[in-house]
C-alpha cells in the first residue's frame, strides 16, 4: 500500500493547502468526492490506467486521510515481483507529474502537526498462514516480529520516527502491538482472519512510504520463516 502526497511545484505544498495557511482538518478527505476536499484525482486515475496498461497487478486507489494524500495498492505473488512492480509504479507516477506541474513527496511525515504521515503498509502471507492457520500460529508470528523491532525498523525507511509516534493511526516506533482490525497497532490482523477460522494474511503497518520494498520484503520473510 503506497501512500504519498501530491505536491504543487509552485507552492511546494500538498494540493489543497493554501499558501500561508491550512485547509480544513482531517476527516474531510478520506475517500472523499467533490472539488473542495478532493485534489489530484485526474493524475491518480491516469496513473492507475497506465499501470494497468503496463500489465502491473494494480489493485486500487483511494484518497487518504490528509489533504492531498493518496494511496495505491500493488499485489504480487512473491516479494521480488511486488518490489519490481512497486518501483515501476513509482517511476510512472513521478514521470506523469511532469505533465501536471506537480511532484510526489514520499517523505513519511512531510506536514508537521495534526496530519497523518505516509506509510507503505505491507500485507503478507505464506502457505502455512493461508492453509493451516490457527490463532496460535498468528500469535507466534506477531510475537516474533515484536522481538525484532530494531531489525525491522532499520530497513523500514528514513525519517520514520517522525511518523511512528503512537498518534495518527500508528504505534510508537520503539513499541510493538498487534490486534484484530487495530489501525493503531504495529501489525493489524484483518477482521477476515478470525472470521475465516484464523487463516489469511497480516498487515505490517510500520514501513514508511519511502522504504525500499526489496529490503522490507526480505526482513518480513526472514522473521516469518523463523516461525513457519
CB atoms within 10 A of CB 24: 11
Fold of 119-228: Creatine Kinase; Chain A, domain 2 (3.30.590)
Element (H, E) at 142: helix 135-146
Give the pairing of strands 187-189 and 102-105: unpaired
- pTM, whole model, 2 decimals? 0.96
> Which among 140, 131, 139 has a CA at the least distance from the CA of 199?
131
State the cell numbers at 63: 484518497
> Which among 1, 224, 226 has a CA at the least distance from the CA of 126?
224
- The residues, ordered by sequence, that sit 6+ positions from 91 with a Cβ below 8 Å of its Cβ are none
Q: CATH number for 1-118: choose from 3.55.50.30, 2.40.160.20, 3.30.590.10, 3.40.50.170.
A: 3.30.590.10
The helix/strand/coil state of 193 is helix
Q: pLDDT tens digits, the chain, 228 residues: what are they? A: 999 999 999 999 999 999 999 999 999 999 999 999 999 999 999 999 999 999 999 999 999 999 999 999 999 889 999 999 999 999 999 999 999 999 999 999 999 999 999 999 999 999 999 999 999 999 999 999 999 999 999 999 999 999 999 999 999 999 999 999 999 999 999 999 999 999 999 999 999 999 999 999 999 999 999 999
Instruction: List where CATH 3.30.590.10 sits in the chain.
Output: 1-118, 119-228
State the cell numbers at 124: 503478507
Q: Which one-letter DSSP state was computed for residue 11?
A: T
Amino acid at each position: 500500500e503506497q501512500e504519498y502526497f501530491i505536491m504543487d511545484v509552485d507552492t511546494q505544498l500538498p494540493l489543497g493547502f493554501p499558501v500561508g495557511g491550512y485547509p480544513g482538518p482531517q476527516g474531510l478527505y478520506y475517500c472523499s468526492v467533490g472539488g473542495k476536499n478532493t485534489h489530484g484525482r485526474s493524475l491518480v486515475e491516469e496513473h492507475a490506467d497506465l499501470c494497468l496498461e503496463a500489465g502491473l497487478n494494480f489493485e486500487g486507489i483511494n484518497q487518504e486521510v490528509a489533504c492531498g494524500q493518496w494511496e495505491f495498492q500493488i499485489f504480487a505473488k512473491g516479494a521480488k515481483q511486488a518490489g519490481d512492480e512497486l518501483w515501476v509504479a513509482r517511476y510512472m507516477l513521478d514521470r506523469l507529474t511532469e505533465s501536471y506541474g506537480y511532484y510526489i513527496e514520499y517523505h513519511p511525515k512531510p506536514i508537521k502537526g495534526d496530519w497523518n504521515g505516509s506509510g507503505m503498509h505491507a500485507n503478507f502471507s505464506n502457505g502455512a498462514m493461508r492453509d493451516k492457520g490457527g490463532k496460535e500460529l498468528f500469535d507466534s508470528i506477531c510475537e516474533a516480529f515484536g522481538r525484532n523491532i530494531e531489525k525491522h525498523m532499520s530497513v523500514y525507511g528514513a525519517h520514520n520516527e517522525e511518523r511512528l509516534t503512537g498518534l495518527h493511526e500508528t504505534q510508537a516506533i520503539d513499541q510493538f502491538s498487534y490486534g484484530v482490525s487495530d489501525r493503531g497497532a504495529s501489525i493489524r490482523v484483518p477482521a477476515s482472519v478470525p472470521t475465516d477460522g484464523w487463516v489469511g494474511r497480516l498487515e505490517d503497518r510500520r514501513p514508511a512510504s519511502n522504504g525500499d520494498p526489496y529490503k522490507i520484503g526480505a526482513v518480513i520473510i526472514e522473521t516469518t520463516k523463523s516461525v513457519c
